Amino acid sequence: MTAAAEIAAWLAASSQNDRSPKGDLIVRGPFGELVTVGLDDVPPEAPAGCLPLFTLASGFVPTWAAPEGQQRLSDRAQHVAWLAGAGRPDFPAVAVLRIATGATMRQACTAADIDPDAPLVGIPAAAF
């Protein structure tokens, strides 16, 4: 399984509805969404509150569903960055790139001195 597929599985599990201690339904929107971008393309801007996780892997098109019932955007971005370096079995070890507004994945890789062929995920710097 590729790193992007592992992240997609983790996102799906983290976006499941839940129950309160009293049994009430807690509706959850997506924790985040994988978004395919080209190495030299400027990633698209996400709607307010949505956490895009940019990947070079093909086939990931966001729905931009409202992240109802999820933590604040900055908490979710920091959680993904922590998971990526924590060596957890349910999340792949990937380099996390903070993508500045208007920057490409290649520019972010160069700025962070990360090989673009390495497993990586980009998160908008503004999300942090």
CA distance 118 to 128: 22
For 89-106, the pLDDT digits (tens) are 889 999 999 999 999 999
Output the pLDDT for position 55. Answer: 97
Quickly list DSSP for 69-91. Answer: TPPPHHHHHHHHHHHHHTT-TTS
Output the pLDDT for position 1. Answer: 75
Output the pLDDT for position 38. Answer: 96
Per-residue confidence at 88, pLDDT binned at 50, 70, 90? confident
Per-residue confidence at 65, pLDDT binned at 50, 70, 90? very high
CA distance 101 to 104: 9
Output the pLDDT for position 98. Answer: 96
- SS3 state at 6: helix
Output the pLDDT for position 87. Answer: 85
For 13-57, the pLDDT digits (tens) are 999 999 999 999 999 999 999 999 999 999 999 999 999 999 999
Q: Closest Cα partner for 81 from 98, 104, 67?
A: 98
What size, in residues, is the chain? 128
Q: Closest Cα partner for 10 from 45, 55, 47, 42?
A: 55
Instruction: Say if residues 52 and 76 touch (Cβ distance below 8 Å).
Output: no
